[in-house]
Amino acid sequence: MPKGLIIVYTGDGKGKTSAALGTALRACGHNMHVSMIQFVKSPTDSGEERAAELLKPGFEMITTGRGFVNIPGHTVPLPDHKKAAEDAFDLARQRISSGYWDIVILDEINVAVDLGLIDREELLENLKNKPKKLHVILTGRNAHPDLIAMADIVTEMRSLKHPYDAGVAAQKGIDF
């Protein structure tokens, strides 16, 4: 029986969610079932949400966040972010323990842990007790050292250059 891996994509560079989506696309090509739960991010009309609709029923994407936290001008109170993250974590626990999914992606969960929206110890416990064949991918900046130590694969995205730094707005199909 294959060993389910814990994979972490972290760092300040772009591409963490895209890397997880690339794995999801590959898995769907092998008729595997993938569930992606987005922490922190809020529902938008993004390209990945549109693509997820095309890959059903093998791929589901659930966005539960209230938007990015501590962004200037953002008015969602911290308790609302915490409640949304807790709801997402409830879904994650269900998906992880169900036995149905081959891959569960917890998008931006590293950020949720870093901000104290999700309890790190509870996450670690759920990962320790996951089904042996289940792959779990955790994305987001500032992955905790305990998550890095537990993971089988860790990739750090490092920003060398991005048009955003020069004032260029996010590009459809590239950034969203």
What's the CATH code of the domain at 135?
Answer: 3.40.50.300
Q: Does 90 map to a domain?
A: yes
The per-residue pLDDT of the chain, averaged, comes to 92
The mean pLDDT value for 7-25 works out to: 96
Q: Minimal CA–CA distance to 7: which of 172, 116, 155?
A: 155
Question: What mean pLDDT is predicted for residues 80-89?
Answer: 92
Q: Is residue 163 situated within a structural domain?
A: no
Q: Does 165 map to a domain?
A: no
Tens digit of each residue's pLDDT (9 = 90 or more) over 19-69: 999 999 999 999 999 999 999 876 677 888 888 899 999 999 999 877 777
pTM, entire model: 0.91
- Whole-angstrom distance, CA of residue 50 vs CA of residue 26: 17
- Cβ density class 96-127: b for 16+ within 10 Å, e for less: beeeebbbbbbbbbbbbbbbebbeeeebbebb
Cis peptide before 43 (omega within 30 of 0): no
Residue 169 maps to a domain: no
| 173 inside domain | no
Any domain includes 36:
yes
The total number of structural domains in the chain stands at 1
Q: Does 52 reside within a domain?
A: yes
Give me the residues paired with residue 139 across strands.
9
Percent of the chain with pLDDT over 90: 72
Q: Which domain holds residue 123?
A: 6-157
Q: What are the pLDDT digits (tens) for 111-132?
A: 999 999 999 999 999 999 999 9
Segment among 3-17, 33-47, 130-144 with least mean pLDDT: 33-47
The answer to whether residue 166 sits within a structural domain is no
* pLDDT tier, 71 (very low <50, low <70, confident <90, very high otherwise): low
| Residue 1 binned pLDDT confidence (cut-offs 50, 70, 90) | low
**What pLDDT, on the 0 to 100 scale, is given for residue 156?**
98
Contact call for residues 128 and 53 (beta carbons, < 8 A): no
